Structure 1
Amino acid sequence: MDLEFHLEKHFNYTSFRVGQKEVITSILDGKHTIAMLPTGTGKSLCYQLSGYLLKGQIVIISPLLSLMQDQVEQLMMNGEKSVIAFNSFLTQEEKYQALLHLNKYKFIFLSPEMLQSESIIKRLGEQQIGLFVIDEAHCISQWGYDFRPDYLKLGDVREKLGNPLTLALTATATPEVKEDLIESLGLGNWNEFIYSVDRPNISLSVETISSYQDKTERLVELIKNLKGPGIIYFSSKKVSEQMAVLLKERGIDKVMAYHGGMEQESRVLIQQQFLHGQLDIICATSAFGMGINKGNIRYVIHFHMPLQLESYLQEIGRAGRDGLKSLAVLLYSPGDEQLPYQLAESELPSEAQIEWIYQWFVEHDEAVKNIEPFENEVRRLAGLTDIQWRMIKNYLCESEAASLQENFLQLKIFINQRLQIKRKKINEMHMWAQPPYEECRRKKILKYFKEDKTIEVEDCCDQCGIDLASFYTDSDNHKTAEDAFDWKRHLAEILLISERSE
């Protein structure tokens, strides 16, 4: 089969990126496939093009609503109408109608939590599934940085659906995580395509800065000088908004904040403005960038230290997808690691919350057999997030402990293990950002993923030497708010303000 012909026909590309053709060929040969492709190589095309060449429907499991929505919008922009995402953006009536007419859809996106619904499993079982895709497959592994308990059940889901042809995709998985993934899915025989996590066209730099104020000033200096467009990552929604305002006050044009707490319509508008060049800079949390298909992002700056090397690679991998020279800068101040520790702890239920829930169950023994009627009350009274509650509920429902007390003791052990894994990941990220100065940062990342550095890279990292001036732009080409009035941007900002005030 002439895959290049179909690539141009469906996507208007004339050549494949690294690993794409091999993965697609494996799928079309009817082989279960595990693919670890570096960020920016277009993993989604592996199942999209395969989908057009396979009979039956393509079911894609995705962990994030934003990623799911981005993929749906990209398919629709490419002219694909028979695509649906089952998520919270659909009303109950829309979900009901979509399930009723499920056979109309070629591409079906679902969260792993949605697959716990018997009605959805039943309807999927009545379809002809040509390919079962697990995106961000590292979420399956209990040793992974972003473990999701509902991902562990995907092996059982596959079995209920008749063990369809399966593709597992990830960009960042250590060998330990990969082995866990294989065991959980129970694929039997599979083809494996593991490529280096390295992106040689992205130069790596860490700047150690003594104070928050100095870090802010350095950020402004970088943004004024670097060739764009670019993304600045923050761990705080509030700081991302404050910094967007500050940059505008300093005369830097075409910048907006983006985070998961914003209205969906606002997020979509900002994404589209960035994709089409109406915005040059996004002050974002990690909610931004998954699935964003913008090839010319020239830099990614981290104002806050990420929680682990895996997500750091994911985020800097949004730069340089066109293969051209790009820059990743981490601005580090001593003590920055404390915020990731706090965030990691807040993602998990505290011991006090677990104790409260245990006492509640002791007093409401009827809920032990059927928790569903009491879920909202328990969550509200215990002050649990959706993720915290799903983790507790999943563990309690799956546990085979002899007593309620033993069940909760095991839950405490499990939560503590997760916290230790997260702390270990933060420490590894922190150590990567530190001296010794003689060790190449790229080499340290590759060593973490059990790889060797085999090629010499120009402008490799700050330890090997970077010519930062080569990433700078002429000041004449850098327009500020005082230089020109952009009516499109002004109108977009008015619309955003209007939407937020409603």
Structure 2
Amino acid sequence: MNELLLEKLHTHFGHASFRPGQEEVIRRVMDGRNVLAILATGGGKSVTYQLPALLLPGITVVVSPLISLMLDQVQQLRTRRKIPATYLNSAQDYTESRDVLRELSSGAYKLLYVSPEKLQQPYVQSVLKRVGVSLVAIDEAHCISQWGHDFRTDYLRLPDAIRQIGSPPVLAVTATATSEVRSEIGQLLHILPEDMIVQALNRTNISLDLIAVTDEGERREQVLRMIDELQGPGIVYCSTRNAVEVLVASYQLEGTKRVHGYHGGMESMERMLIQSQFIADELDVIVATNAFGMGIDKPNIRYVIHYQVPSSLEAYAQEIGRVGRDGQPGYAVLFHVEDDWHIHQHMVEKEYPTQMQVMQFYHWFHSHSGQPRTSEVWAALEMTEEMVQLLTFYAEQTGLTAEVAATGEAERDHVLRIWQETEKRKRLKKQKLFEMLSYVEGTEGCLRKKLNHYFGEEQAEFSLYCCSHCGLDRKAFQGKISTVDRKKLENSWDLRQALEILLPKK
């Protein structure tokens, strides 16, 4: 088996050996076990289900949260890996979906990427059960946990969908998960503790920097200068679409690098084009919201700048993990001002309904019993689609159905229980924001240790520099040292040697 796995790894993925954790995960998958794999960003999570898909008898279903991500991965599998793959998502019309399902039945594919909401459709489930699913891989599996930073209601319905297609083995993969999240994933997907493969979060080649600024003007000035000075491809993360657009426009007035913005408000084709250009080194820097980066296969990203503070340490760890996947030195810098907290607090308040909105939602159930949920209705209730999905999910959890609502039975109790559940989610989001605040505003202690400790790790090894609290010289990332010295730094795992190279001799 070992020789066969290595042969397939080399033939389809171009690697002579497995990365840490990959082989251990794959062997368990091939044995038909349910597995949770927590591999650091850039740790090769996709190989752990793409390679078994070649050897297992039926098809492998991959649940993916983003349409753009599944399109990109299917294209790569077809063109670069020569692996037959296709996708099924809510953006396809009836004819497209029917054609994909017909081709699946004929045995044309080994991998099917599917959105979580599509997998809940009874017809899709019946076709997959008939075809035969050998493995269900759940990408970004932390989304299934209500303790996670990116909980999605469609993910929590996956266990039932998996039962409907015949209960095949499950592989859940993610880059970040606290102990609470790991425990909940294990309970929901029936994964034993001994089948949880957890690799170290710590990325030794990434230096962590933290910069406090007094106001927005100072921050913008410093970040624009950094974009010019830092070497190699980079990503700048902003919390809002407006911040992305302003920063890009400001840089393009006088900057010399190829910089473009990216956020969820853009057309999907434009986003795909920008992503492709960045991967192909046709763009130097992407300024983006957190909509960018998931599934990006670009090993030579040299830095990530956080223009504003992320909403959680999980999000921060995932985003800086996109740096230096080639093992060469990378740099992650986080800017912060007091206003960042107000932005996130405002966003959290908008994300969750008031008690009055829950009441309106209940009355909508009462007056629209049995009718389809249209976007016009949600607009009338002045709620986002995500908010309505959350309310619908918790309505189901508390036993509220359209039939129950129509009777007006126990209205107050149902409204209160639904609202309490959404308030619990809001408090969790605020708790994660507080943990991020504690990380940023703490003036003492190693940043690397604090970040890793949050995820239950004690590792703190580093190659070039650790962090700005332990000592860091930004010249190493700004091209202000000679090529010879840079090569020494890249090959050096000794901080003292690095300091001798960088600091002037007395």
Q: Is the 8 A contact 1:60 1:110 kept in 2?
A: yes
| Among 231, 245, 252, the residue aligned to 1:248 | 252
Superposed, which structure 2 residues align to 1:269-308 within 5 Å? 269-308=273-312
What does the per-residue CA deviation read over 1:107-131, in whole Å, with 9 as the maximum and x for residues that have no partner?
Answer: 1111222222111111111121111
What does the per-residue CA deviation read over 1:136-171, in whole Å, with 9 as the maximum and x for residues that have no partner?
Answer: 111111111111122222222222222212111111
Distance 2:269 2:116 in 1: 24
Q: Could you say if the C-alpha distance between residues 177 and 349 of structure 1 is closer, same or farther in structure 2, counting changes exceeding 3 Å? A: same
Report deviation, 1:470: 0.6
Report deviation, 1:359: 3.4
Q: Which residue of 1 aligns with 2:443?
A: 436
Superposed, which structure 2 residues align to 1:143-292 within 5 Å? 143-187=147-191, 191-292=195-296
Q: Which residue of 2 aligns with 1:427?
A: 434
Q: Could you say if the C-alpha distance between residues 79 and 45 of structure 1 is closer, same or farther in structure 2, counting changes exceeding 3 Å? A: closer
1:418 aligns with 2:421: no
SS of aligned partner of 1:331: strand
Distance 2:460 2:259 in 1: 38
1:24 aligns with 2:26: yes
Stretches of structure 2 that go unaligned for 5 or more consecutive residues are 401-408, 484-506
State which drifts further: 285-294 or 446-455: 446-455
Q: Which residue of 2 aligns with 1:376?
A: 375
SS of aligned partner of 2:340: coil
Distance 2:461 2:183 in 1: 27
Distance 1:66 1:310 in 2: 22
What does the per-residue CA deviation read over 1:223-242, in whole Å, with 9 as the maximum and x for residues that have no partner?
Answer: 11111200000111122122
Superposed, which structure 2 residues align to 1:460-475 within 5 Å? 460-473=466-479
Q: TM (normalized to structure 1)?
A: 0.89
Report deviation, 1:355: 2.5
What does the per-residue CA deviation read over 1:334-361, in whole Å, with 9 as the maximum and x for residues that have no partner?
Answer: 2311111222222223333223223334
Superposed, which structure 2 residues align to 1:100-111 within 5 Å? 100-103=102-105, 104-111=108-115
Distance 2:72 2:435 in 1: 31
Report deviation, 1:475: 11
Report deviation, 1:394: 2.1
Report deviation, 1:457: 4.8
AA aligned opposite 2:452: L
AA aligned opposite 1:395: Y
Distance 2:480 2:92 in 1: 47
Stretches of structure 1 that go unaligned for 5 or more consecutive residues are 478-502
Report deviation, 1:186: 2.6
Identical residues among aligned pairs (%)? 38
CA RMSD of aligned residues (A): 2.0
AA aligned opposite 2:422: I
State which drifts further: 396-405 or 374-383: 396-405
Q: TM (normalized to structure 2)?
A: 0.89
Q: Is the 8 A contact 2:36 2:173 kept in 1?
A: yes
Distance 1:305 1:126 in 2: 48
Q: Which residue of 2 aligns with 1:496?
A: none
Distance 2:148 2:34 in 1: 22
What does the per-residue CA deviation read over 1:340-386, in whole Å, with 9 as the maximum and x for residues that have no partner?
Answer: 12222222233332232233344x1xx34x2x424434212012222
Q: Which residue of 2 aligns with 1:407?
A: 414
AA aligned opposite 1:446: N
Q: Could you say if the C-alpha distance between residues 166 and 211 of structure 1 is closer, same or farther in structure 2, counting changes exceeding 3 Å? A: same
Q: Could you say if the C-alpha distance between residues 219 and 106 of structure 1 is closer, same or farther in structure 2, counting changes exceeding 3 Å? A: same
Q: Is the 8 A contact 2:205 2:462 kept in 1?
A: no
Distance 1:253 1:187 in 2: 47
What does the per-residue CA deviation read over 1:4-34, in whole Å, with 9 as the maximum and x for residues that have no partner?
Answer: 2211101112222221121112212222211
1:68 aligns with 2:53: no
Q: Is the 8 A contact 1:66 1:290 kept in 2?
A: no
Q: Is the 8 A contact 1:357 1:378 kept in 2?
A: no
Q: Could you say if the C-alpha distance between residues 238 and 78 of structure 1 is closer, same or farther in structure 2, counting changes exceeding 3 Å? A: same
Q: Could you say if the C-alpha distance between residues 251 and 42 of structure 1 is closer, same or farther in structure 2, counting changes exceeding 3 Å? A: same
Distance 1:164 1:242 in 2: 48
Q: Is the 8 A contact 2:378 2:388 kept in 1?
A: yes
Q: Is the 8 A contact 1:70 1:290 kept in 2?
A: no
SS of aligned partner of 1:126: helix
SS of aligned partner of 1:193: strand
Q: Which residue of 2 aligns with 1:59?
A: 61
Distance 1:84 1:399 in 2: 37
AA aligned opposite 2:474: L
State which drifts further: 287-296 or 20-29: 20-29
Superposed, which structure 2 residues align to 1:92-103 within 5 Å? 92-103=94-105
What does the per-residue CA deviation read over 1:50-100, in whole Å, with 9 as the maximum and x for residues that have no partner?
Answer: 111211101011222232223222213325463222224322221122123
Matched residue count: 471
Report deviation, 1:47: 0.6
Report deviation, 1:101: 2.6
Q: Which residue of 2 aligns with 1:84?
A: 86
Distance 1:61 1:353 in 2: 32
Q: Which residue of 2 aligns with 1:494?
A: none
| Among 123, 126, 144, the residue aligned to 1:119 | 123
Report deviation, 1:449: 1.0
Distance 1:109 1:387 in 2: 22
Q: Which residue of 2 aligns with 1:485?
A: none
What does the per-residue CA deviation read over 1:285-342, in whole Å, with 9 as the maximum and x for residues that have no partner?
Answer: 1111111100000000011111100011111111101011000000111231111122
AA aligned opposite 1:393: T
SS of aligned partner of 1:162: coil
Q: Is the 8 A contact 1:155 1:186 kept in 2?
A: no
Q: Is the 8 A contact 2:90 2:117 kept in 1?
A: no
State which drifts further: 97-106 or 253-262: 97-106
| Among 430, 446, 460, the residue aligned to 2:452 | 446
